[in-house]
Amino acid sequence: MKIVMMARNPDLYSHKRLQETALERGHTFDIVNTLRCYMNIASRRPEIYYNDSKLPIYDAVIPRIGASVTFYGLAILRQFEMMGVYPLNESVAIGRSRDKLRSLQILAREGIGLPVTTFAYDPSQTEEVIDLAGGAPLVIKLLEGTQGIGVVLADSKRSAKSVIEAFRGAKVNILVQEFIKEAGGTDIRALVVGGKVVAAMQRKGAEDDFRSNLHRGGSAIPIKISPDERSTAVRASRAMGLNVCGVDMLRSNHGPVVMEVNSSPGLEGVEKATGIDVAGRIIDLLEKQAKPGKTKTKGRG
């Protein structure tokens, strides 16, 4: 099988693991810098060029699109789809997951547990937004933030009002969410591959940081999740239309609540915490599913 990965940094742990695993199984595996690809959008002859050469037709594409280049990365991925290349995750599904507001609306529509979340445009509605979210303490998130950046914990109503008004005064879109105090500064990352949870870890934030992102000094341990948590992770991945994703959940007093569904989850933390070969599970999925033109959208949507 001929596999291509869209990635700007081939030296990241996740990218090297996927490449090594594919090569060990006898597949060919190319890595192309997403931003150095360009397209010929011609009638019935979609093409992608890289370093002045036309790319061959691959059997599968693994999109590892950085959040800062989502727009261009999805355009290139749609071109691969129109060429009949099977995507590990489809462009439409990745687009849903990258839009925090849209993803929460989709999850809510499917009845998946979420923290109480509010969104408004007008700064004059700050008081109403705070009250709808249950009052302080509150978590305030930039819609465009990633990896814990742009996430603020407001301990009091006064500080929440100040932060919200400051962001909205700068025309920055934010979500306001209830703070799940009972989670104790920990969350669960469940890796879903092909509709099954293949690994799960519990992450804990660094001291004095309520965010549990590993690259911000957090730690991780393997964890056995409950049937309800497993079902929530699988339902969330299905609702988003993602074949591979990381589902971040908190343990609340009313069951698991989903914080985010990540379409390009890192493998280092979960593989080292659990000892599970997640990269192998991903290549397994491609070996079973990759067929020419099997993408559902074929670049539409």
Per-residue pLDDT tens listing for the chain (301 residues)? 999 999 999 999 999 999 999 999 999 999 999 999 999 887 778 899 999 899 999 999 999 999 889 999 999 999 999 999 999 999 999 999 998 899 999 999 999 999 999 887 776 788 888 888 888 899 998 876 555 577 888 989 899 888 888 888 788 888 899 998 888 888 999 999 999 999 999 998 666 655 555 555 577 899 999 999 999 999 999 999 999 999 999 999 989 999 999 999 999 999 999 999 999 999 999 999 987 666 665 444 4
Same topology for domains 2-92 and 96-113+182-285, yes or no? Answer: no
Which distant-in-sequence residues (6+ apart) come within 8 Å of 74 by Cβ?
65, 91, 94, 95
Taking the C-alpha atoms of residue 114 and residue 117, their distance in angstroms, rounded to an integer, is 8
Taking the C-alpha atoms of residue 23 and residue 61, their distance in angstroms, rounded to an integer, is 15
pLDDT for 294 equals 66
Q: Do 171 and 165 meet the contact criterion of CB atoms below 8 Å apart? A: no
Paired sense of beta strands 244-252 and 151-154, if any: unpaired
Residue 121 φ then ψ, to 5°:
-100, -40
Taking the C-alpha atoms of residue 139 and residue 163, their distance in angstroms, rounded to an integer, is 10
Taking the C-alpha atoms of residue 292 and residue 277, their distance in angstroms, rounded to an integer, is 27
CATH 1.10.10.10 assigned to domain 2-92? The reply is no
Q: Which CATH class is domain 117-179?
A: alpha beta
pLDDT for 295 equals 64
Which CATH superfamily is 96-113+182-285 part of? ATP-grasp fold, B domain (3.30.470.20)
Environment class of residue 180 by beta-carbon count within 10 Å: exposed (0-12), middle (13-18) or buried (19+)? buried
Helix (H, G, I), strand (E, B) or coil at 65: coil
Domains in the chain: boundaries: 2-92, 96-113+182-285, 117-179
Model pTM greater than 0.85? yes
